Structure 1
Amino acid sequence: MTEQQLSTEGDSPPSDPRPSRRGRFLTPRALGIGSALAATAAAVALVFATQTAVQATSSPESPASTPIAADSTDEDAPEKATEVSKPTTVAAAYDGLTGAEVEYVRFLGAQDPAFAAGKDLFGEPGLQFLSTDVADPQAYSDGHRRLLSLYYDYATNETVSMIVNVTNGAIESVDRASGTQPAPTDAETSFAWELLLDADTAQPVVDEFAALTGGSVLTPASAEVLLTAHSFVTDAGSFGAESCGVDRCVQVLAQVDGGAFLTTSTYVVNLSTRAVLSIS
């Protein structure tokens, strides 16, 4: 694997770190279905090819659109709604995303049998929503507006891709791929952080935080910590996380008060099994 650069006071960040939602109680009510950076792809196959081990804070070159971060709780997530109306105005094929159409296609995706058959991050029925972006209009000739939604199925460890036609409200394709790991959502990042702190092997991280903050106790809700994360896929140079890449695994970066980074590069959190792994 490619290790994160280390500073003298812990792990250094990826470029342009973004904030992460943090909650004390990591349940669907607290974290919801989550959101993440969207995949950029011209076709479903390309989505799967380009989503492996994507940094949560990275962005593709010349993106076709700016993904909407459709954060929502369990109660008000579009997937849980009784009905979501079609947007009054359907955007042109090449236009950027709107919040209304993201909600609409998320609702439509939840009506597909493949959605209910899956499991989310918390083990509850329904696929884990990851992101939505504009499907490449050049792949079609009818001028219809299409969005591409990505989900993760924790029941099968597969990335699920849906092409939804906003113009006519049809789900045109549902495809699955194993061994692909889109960037983790905020909910996944927060859940991984809590699992890491609950592990007995994480005591060095707790001690490091106390040393940096004058004795403060590190908890998942510590306001001094800014979280980012990236997906983790094992390689020939990594030992201790051999299932990662098949299983859904992430590494968490934790920055203290906008300065030093805690040393978390030796830990990988397997979200599929909820195990905290020590790697070398």
Structure 2
Amino acid sequence: MTEPQISPAADPPPPRRRRWLTPRTLGIASAVSAGAAAVALVFATQVAVQATSTPPDATSTPIAADSTDDDAPEKAGTPIEPPTQLPAVNDKLTGSEVEYVRYLGAQHPDFAAGRDVFGGDGMQFLSTDVAEPSAYSDGHRRLISLYYDYATDETVSMVVDVAAQTVESVQRAQGTQPAPTDAETAHAWQLLLESELREPVAEEFAGLTGGSALTPQSNEIELTAHSFSADAGTFGAEQCGIQRCVQVLAQVDGGAFLTTSTIVVNLSTQSVLPIS
């Protein structure tokens, strides 16, 4: 079913985590977490996790994901060692173990065979979460990493036994579209602004800002996005839901939203589509 579309003059979008996106190297961030069972994919909105550093109190402090594409653990040039101390099976995530689990997952053949949103080698990392301890009987600490494979248009869940230092299982699902990450959101916005559909959006932005030119670097814009799946009443983006598509919501200086509800970005095909 198509998600509700938002008019710039109507109600604001549903509450969600927001972040100012800048033209720096695109961050790989988490907007959705894998579920608890090892034998199935279950998705739920969760707090994002950090992949690069451990906060002062990792057992009680939420960790905001913001590793860049260049220094992400998946692209580490040297092996990342496992954490010296593991939390209890149901403790919150720590930065060091997420960094290690992401690196370990990147060594798996499924990861290497995949593609990210930019067309690069390796699947697109989305998030990591703690596996439900009650699903196992051995008392081992397990994390579940969620990826999107742009090579196959599948959501991939990878269960890692942190204690055994092994990737325990890999599950794939088609037609499941987790919320987009900050990297995917920023890339979709850039594709939109490079497309033929940018003109009315740019004109609207100029009218709201006194003539400013709209670029991916525009500081007045706050971006959020949601995944988009076509339904029987949608025309122009029929493959969305099978392929990975997003709608970008662009808010100007915390006020009006630009009219982007008639535009969908298909990240699988790197195309920008008008819908009706």
User: Which TM-score applies when normalising by structure 2?
Assistant: 0.89
The within-5 A match list for 1:99-110 is: 99-110=95-106
Query: What residue is the counterpart of 1:219 in the other structure?
Result: 215
Query: What residue is the counterpart of 1:135 in the other structure?
Result: 131
Rounded to whole Å, the distance in 1 between the matches of 2:132 and 2:93 is 12
Tell me which amino acid in the other structure corresponds to 1:78.
P
Query: What residue is the counterpart of 1:80 in the other structure?
Result: 75
Q: Does the 8 A contact of 1:36 with 1:131 survive in 2? A: yes
The within-5 A match list for 1:242-261 is: 242-261=238-257
The within-5 A match list for 1:1-280 is: 1-8=2-9, 12-23=12-23, 30-31=25-26, 34-44=28-38, 46-48=40-42, 50=43, 68-81=63-76, 82-280=78-276
Residue 240 of structure 1: CA displacement?
A: 1.0
Q: Using the TM superposition, name which of 69-78 and 155-164 deviates more.
A: 69-78
Q: Does the 8 A contact of 1:87 with 1:101 survive in 2? A: yes
Going from structure 1 to structure 2, the CA distance change for 1:20 and 1:158 (only over 3 Å counts) comes to farther
Question: Which ranges in structure 2 are unaligned for 5 or more consecutive residues?
Answer: 48-59
Residue 199 of structure 1: CA displacement?
A: 1.0
The number of equivalent residue pairs is 262
Tell me which amino acid in the other structure corresponds to 2:152.
T
| Aligned partner of residue 23 in structure 1, secondary structure | coil
Tell me which amino acid in the other structure corresponds to 2:183.
A
Q: Using the TM superposition, name which of 69-78 and 84-93 deviates more.
A: 69-78
The higher relative CO (CA closer than 8 Å, separation ≥ 6) is in 1
Tell me which amino acid in the other structure corresponds to 1:12.
P
Residue 235 of structure 1: CA displacement?
A: 0.9
Rounded to whole Å, the distance in 1 between the matches of 2:261 and 2:62 is 28
Tell me which amino acid in the other structure corresponds to 1:194.
Q
Any idea what the Cα deviations from partners look like across 1:207-253, whole Å, max 9, x if unmatched?
00000000000001100000000111111121111000111100000
Q: Does the 8 A contact of 1:67 with 1:131 survive in 2? A: no
- How many percent identity over aligned positions? 63
Question: Which ranges in structure 1 are unaligned for 5 or more consecutive residues?
Answer: 25-29, 52-57
| Aligned partner of residue 140 in structure 2, secondary structure | coil
User: Which TM-score applies when normalising by structure 1?
Assistant: 0.88
Any idea what the Cα deviations from partners look like across 1:56-102, whole Å, max 9, x if unmatched?
xx659xxxx98744322233211111111111110111100111111
Residue 15 of structure 1: CA displacement?
A: 1.2
Q: Using the TM superposition, name which of 80-89 and 99-108 deviates more.
A: 80-89
Tell me which amino acid in the other structure corresponds to 1:4.
Q
Tell me which amino acid in the other structure corresponds to 1:73.
T
